Structure 1
């Protein structure tokens, strides 16, 4: 059996493949299992013993080669969606936020009386696949033209619940953010002459900040380094150096954090954004651009953060690894789709615990049309790779930069230079 056959397995179409660890290369429609459980699901008992082990090792080697090569890109970014805070961190999903803020309890998701009245007023009618951010943006749009105390008060109540749900889980002793620590340990320790690792996230929570604090890693997040930390995009251009008597050098491990949808620690005071340990729900800076509209994209801090994300996507020699993002935000999904088609040096590695379902079970509940669009581009040879697996699974797959020897770096560089040559 040749290597290409060893890396391919029959394409699954059933939901039981959700969460299984597997890898799919550009230009291919089949998946390569990366775990024994995935191997049994894909192939059953038709292969066993030494042959199964050989094929699994070949699949893992191919995936490892992909990730080792990705870490060598001069511009490296990691994008964490809401799926990254599920599992061990025990963070709330978007569906949980909707149920807790809008519903009376139970799996049916029946709206409370007040929530129903407000939905009717702001004309939010989505019930099959509701989105709490889309609802909030509808409320803001309504209040921009109508002075309605009931809607305004309910909006503050919803924000208060979101603040609690996105903050309290980190204080739960069962909460485990070790995957975040391991990710930063692996990715932030880049060569100091390369651009800093850029972490983008749509999550409101403080997982990355907490993990960085536990590791003693410095974060450049757009806020000043003074008392009363104030947001100013110019701080993303700052860096940290170690000054000796006769020389200076960049401090290792520093990374940039771009919280594209705001944070539970941000409070708007007039035209400024400040960091706060307990922000007022009426002034908390949670950003939720309206579905199909972009009015919030033109105010700070979203304007600054979105601009920097778009600029990152256009840079040469860029790799973006995405985990737990469902592509339900058009204002982010569309630029990524455009960038992979216009930037020939952009590599995308898309990972999700339901990745296999997203790509092959089109039309199932909650699936975005963008998954099919990325799949179609990958089938045409665009540099888009898919990994099915949870955030923790993906972090475990990422090799440590310190484990890449100079000889391996040279070998990888020579191999990349030889791509496309006779």
Structure 2
């Protein structure tokens, strides 16, 4: 990501795909006198996002790309890993000799680059096909790899900069209480949304109980949080609550007997590890509950789905989106990703880039499918070139801050002053 590397987050980095013009820059183009010579896409982007925000049912889908903006400033601190980082982590944990031995045993392993998903997929196939001393070595390697991946994706802590996640949560989850709660779906194992919600003082409904230890039960997704006051007869639904569905598991999930409990620091978290079998694993409990919620939500009337940082490489998620586009005429889809345009094209700095410009290499063909649908007139689809953090700044803030929120902000700002106690 040469073009995007170290580029500060800004809505100005977004580009809108206009079938008639191409990829139009967010800001207006002005001359030396400050006169507008060409209108940007900011108005159309704001309109599309506003319509999505006002939908009866609002969904957000994120993948690994959404975590890259999470920052740890401490020296040698971990950052959100890509496939290459996971490859390196596994290689280090397994030792170089063992790693090279595994590579020699797996056919075509030298041709997959640093794609840990393909390597683990082929390792799993090898174990299923052969029952010998070599397969035992591969089995041990898989166990080592899974532990290394679990450790590497655990990079979020209380000091992690999660501004983009906090902004997204604040703007999207602060919906009118008369509407269904916003639903966040993510394939990420990390705790970006959880920590950002805690900082923002938002409440999460994620299928876990509020007792200790927290135990997962699908029935908890039908629960809600209300405020009861003596002066009121009925319950008052509180603001700032959203649903969170971890489609591939979470580093703080652990199986304990027949239960799934939340506990940080587990060496064996409940995850769907990167390999082709994740399609089958996604339809086993508890992931089946998450997938069921995802598919049923897509078919609800007046639904908007905002996708960012998700590469559409998981067919068990990509295919339901395409099926919903076909079956649900009221579905609105907004896809924001850096995959739409190559770095060398963006570096030219043109206000409008030709719509036929090539997408990045080695990406899912779903991006071209979405472009084709938009090009032939499907106005339900809005395509944006940009990052998760750029999108967060572009989303309109439709709901004003409540007096209760302002009070909490004031109290939080006041902590640590006067009594010498730091919260």
Whether 1:213 and 2:202 are equivalent positions in the alignment is no
CA contact (8 A) 2:254 2:261 kept: yes
**TM-fit CA distance, 1:160:** 2.4
**TM-fit CA distance, 1:362:** 4.9
Q: Secondary structure at the match of 1:273?
A: strand
Query: Mapping of 1:95-114 within 5 angstroms?
Result: 95-102=84-91, 112-114=96-98
Question: Match for residue 396 of structure 2?
Answer: 399
Counterparts of 2:18 and 2:254 in 1: how far apart (Å)?
Answer: 43
Q: Secondary structure at the match of 1:168?
A: coil
Structure-2 change in CA distance of 1:297 and 1:16 (3 Å): closer
**TM-fit CA distance, 1:84:** 0.8
Whether 1:77 and 2:74 are equivalent positions in the alignment is no
Which of 180, 187, 204 aligns to 2:189? It is 204
CA contact (8 A) 2:336 2:391 kept: yes
CA contact (8 A) 1:349 1:387 kept: yes
CA contact (8 A) 1:362 1:372 kept: no
CA contact (8 A) 2:18 2:24 kept: no
CA contact (8 A) 2:120 2:274 kept: no
Q: Secondary structure at the match of 2:383?
A: strand
Counterparts of 1:364 and 1:73 in 2: how far apart (Å)?
Answer: 31
Counterparts of 1:275 and 1:242 in 2: how far apart (Å)?
Answer: 25
Counterparts of 2:270 and 2:107 in 1: how far apart (Å)?
Answer: 24
Counterparts of 2:211 and 2:128 in 1: how far apart (Å)?
Answer: 34
TM-score calculated relative to the size of structure 1: 0.78
Which of 340, 348, 353 aligns to 2:325? It is 340
CA contact (8 A) 1:220 1:236 kept: yes
Give the stretch that moved more between structures: 132-141 or 190-199. Answer: 132-141
- 1:191-213 per-residue CA deviation (whole Å, 9 max, x = no partner) reads 11111000011111000000111
Counterparts of 1:360 and 1:177 in 2: how far apart (Å)?
Answer: 35
**TM-fit CA distance, 1:223:** 1.3
TM-score calculated relative to the size of structure 2: 0.78
Extract unaligned runs of 5+ from structure 2.
72-78, 344-354, 402-423
Counterparts of 1:289 and 1:160 in 2: how far apart (Å)?
Answer: 12
Extract unaligned runs of 5+ from structure 1.
1-14, 40-44, 106-110, 405-422
CA contact (8 A) 1:124 1:135 kept: no
**TM-fit CA distance, 1:333:** 1.2
Question: Match for residue 5 of structure 1?
Answer: none
Q: Return the structure number with greater helix share.
A: 1
Q: When the two structures are aligned, how many residues end up with a matched partner?
A: 372
Counterparts of 2:38 and 2:328 in 1: how far apart (Å)?
Answer: 36
Question: Match for residue 366 of structure 1?
Answer: 362
Counterparts of 1:167 and 1:297 in 2: how far apart (Å)?
Answer: 21
Indicate the RMSD between aligned Cα atoms, in angstroms.
3.1
CA contact (8 A) 1:177 1:207 kept: yes
Which of 118, 121, 126 aligns to 2:102? It is 118
- 1:164-187 per-residue CA deviation (whole Å, 9 max, x = no partner) reads 22223536x5x3101111111111
CA contact (8 A) 1:34 1:60 kept: yes
